[in-house]
Structure 1
Amino acid sequence: MKGKWIEVKLITSSAAVEPISGIFYGLDVKGVAIEDPNDIINRNQGEMSWDFADVSILEYKDSAAVVKGYFSQDDDIDKIVEYINNKIKELIDMGIDVGEGKIVTNVVFEEDWANSWKKYYRTTKIGKNIVIKPKWEEYSPKDDEIIIELDPGMAFGTGTHETTIMCIELLEKYIKEGDTVFDIGTGSGILSIASSKLKAGKVIGVDIDEVAVDAARENIQYNNVSNVKIRLGNLTDVVEGKADVIVANIIADIILKLADTIKPFLKEGGIFIVSGIIQDRKQDIIEKFNKSNFNICDIKQMGEWVAISAKVN
């Protein structure tokens, strides 16, 4: 997808990232981005700037997070902003710290966005052997490194976020040659591609975001992984059969719901890997998994984020 988009940016706190992301996903959003300003600034010595935005992310250096939703020019942005503001008030009434809670809207061009992204998206090694490489950069693999080429497009999944890194580390641990893997909320397709390159036999990635599905399919072509299929929709609607490993790098509230519905899609002894969980929600996930008769295998933490793997009892 090319062209002009309306960006609705919400400056918030880390504690509110999940419910605010849920607000955006409750709308007809064409893409959602979650940014950790401190992470971006640390990686780039503060050099990153967004040429198309009227407010640089560097202004929000002390904020915990920025959540952005991208909408069509035909959408009624005033009504969208009003809806988001009303939902923010509900979060405040629930006692959730929403931080600054400021909304900024911009008109952005995908081409401008992509060029700004390239200024700070660099080749990065994660896990034991996985190297994430922007498709426009040159890189010669060393020893047994596994290269994944990405162009995030409007799906915003570069593979360098803590949640993705932890998921890949757990995929490296649990995927066996020939396994079937389901990737819920595939985004740019990075976890699906990583699963294939870790010798999974069959991989299905699903996402409810059309833009993410388009980006994931393009990234699959870049990486020449023919055993990966990307589908638009919810797992329970578009996937049949059972997986050896299911990975979901999403938000805690959705993971809590999946704990009740995911078992029919897992083989006996199958592994469920989840991330996108802020520290404050870790115990909620652990308790839910225990109640749902999952045996927790790993609990990983990186920065403010947590990843958990669990086995079907």
Structure 2
Amino acid sequence: MDGIWIEISVITKSEALEPITGIFYGLNCPNIAIEDPDDLLLREQGPLTWDFADINILEHKGNAAVIKAYFSQDDKVEEIVEYVKEKLIEIKELGFDIGEGIVEVKKMHEEDWANNWKQYYKPVKITDKIVIKPIWEEYEKTAEELIIELDPGMAFGTGTHETTRMCIKALDKYVKPNTTVFDIGCGSGILSIAAAKLGAKHVVGVDLDPVAVDSSNQNISYNDLNNIEVLEGNLLDVVDGKADIVVANIIAEIICVLTADVKKALNDGGIFITSGIIHDRVDMVKEKFEECGFEVIEINKDGEWNCIVAKSIG
């Protein structure tokens, strides 16, 4: 792991997190981490982030919130930084308290990440059945537990983030024997593995990021599963056939783009499990579901995040 990424950080206040995060999404950067002192959690937002506590940064930033976005060395970083600074001024003029509004840039080695975050990642029980266990940790399982062996590496999805937990709980409820599951934006493969462990007959994971595809395949091998297929590609473009369940732990805007295609990819009465939806985006997703022929059957909340479960109708 000798790759180098450029980390652009914005030091701000909690109330400005959403619009500032939107700056980076507008730059088509899905690799975002958010440190929010209001919930003391480093939130996962993309395939290069994890939910470990970055203690040193939190100490020297005090009560500030920090948004970190990761770019490759090939990106025009100087232009990106200037663009971000311009957008921060606009956000401040809109009335948001952006705090210090400082933009910082530094290089990050993948090796440094790999060595630092593991100390914060321990076995966690998600449901009565499902336990997520890092491959380097010991854990004594009970007869009823299903263990997911995981090394997320550089891919999104350790199982400790609220959105991931809610998706696993929904899979636990809706996966039945002989179920086919599509996992869109599979990241580390955690949801695909959970579906397979819960009894799905066939699982297809899809991710645009080749790092995530490699991570998924590696984690599948740790769990000795032979019924999961992982594809590299954009959303449902590379998936053939139909599923009984589609799960997508991404963001509300992408879920809305994806919904019409999911409708076509589901069997009659199929279930669409979605998360990564903040409170302010719930109505937007619900309206899109209704427009595309889905009935919302569950909305679960954990912290500031929502997991919406919908059923294909008509």
Distance 1:92 1:174 in 2: 44
Distance 2:95 2:267 in 1: 38
Structure 2: unaligned runs, 5 residues or longer: 43-51
1:156-175, aligned counterparts within 5 Å? 156-175=156-175
Q: State the one-letter code of the partner of 2:72.
A: S
Distance 1:96 1:191 in 2: 39
User: Does the CA-based 8 Å contact 2:263-2:293 persist in structure 1?
Assistant: no
Distance 2:295 2:91 in 1: 32
Other-structure match for 2:22: 19
User: Does the CA-based 8 Å contact 2:235-2:258 persist in structure 1?
Assistant: no
1:285 aligns with 2:288: no
Q: Alignment partner of 2:122: what SS?
A: coil
Sort the Cα spacing of 1:48 and 1:161 in 2 relative to 1 into closer, same or farther, 3 A. closer
Alignment size in residue pairs: 299
Other-structure match for 2:195: 195
Distance 1:252 1:143 in 2: 38
User: Does the CA-based 8 Å contact 2:206-2:231 persist in structure 1?
Assistant: yes
Other-structure match for 1:44: none
Other-structure match for 1:224: 224
Other-structure match for 2:57: 56
User: Does the CA-based 8 Å contact 1:9-1:69 persist in structure 2?
Assistant: yes
Q: In the TM superposition, what is the alpha-carbon distance from 1:63 to its structure 2 partner?
A: 4.6
Q: State the one-letter code of the partner of 1:114.
A: A
Q: In the TM superposition, what is the alpha-carbon distance from 1:86 to its structure 2 partner?
A: 4.5
1:248-287, aligned counterparts within 5 Å? 248-287=248-287
Q: Alignment partner of 1:298: what SS?
A: strand
Q: State the one-letter code of the partner of 2:236.
A: T
Q: In the TM superposition, what is the alpha-carbon distance from 1:233 to its structure 2 partner?
A: 1.5
User: Does the CA-based 8 Å contact 2:152-2:158 persist in structure 1?
Assistant: yes
Q: In the TM superposition, what is the alpha-carbon distance from 1:57 to its structure 2 partner?
A: 3.4
Sort the Cα spacing of 1:176 and 1:108 in 2 relative to 1 into closer, same or farther, 3 A. same
Sort the Cα spacing of 1:141 and 1:17 in 2 relative to 1 into closer, same or farther, 3 A. farther
User: Does the CA-based 8 Å contact 1:21-1:67 persist in structure 2?
Assistant: no
**CA offsets, 1:125-184, max 9 Å, x none?**
012211111111111111311111111212242110001101100000001112111111
User: Does the CA-based 8 Å contact 2:282-2:306 persist in structure 1?
Assistant: yes
User: Does the CA-based 8 Å contact 1:32-1:155 persist in structure 2?
Assistant: no
Sort the Cα spacing of 1:146 and 1:72 in 2 relative to 1 into closer, same or farther, 3 A. same
Other-structure match for 2:179: 179
1:58-207, aligned counterparts within 5 Å? 58-60=59-61, 62-63=63-64, 66-86=66-86, 97=96, 99-100=98-99, 101-207=101-207
Sort the Cα spacing of 1:174 and 1:135 in 2 relative to 1 into closer, same or farther, 3 A. same
Q: State the one-letter code of the partner of 1:22.
A: Y
Distance 2:294 2:287 in 1: 10
Which stretch shifts more, 75-84 or 274-283? 75-84
Distance 1:58 1:127 in 2: 33
The TM-score with structure 2 as length reference comes to 0.85
Sort the Cα spacing of 1:77 and 1:33 in 2 relative to 1 into closer, same or farther, 3 A. same
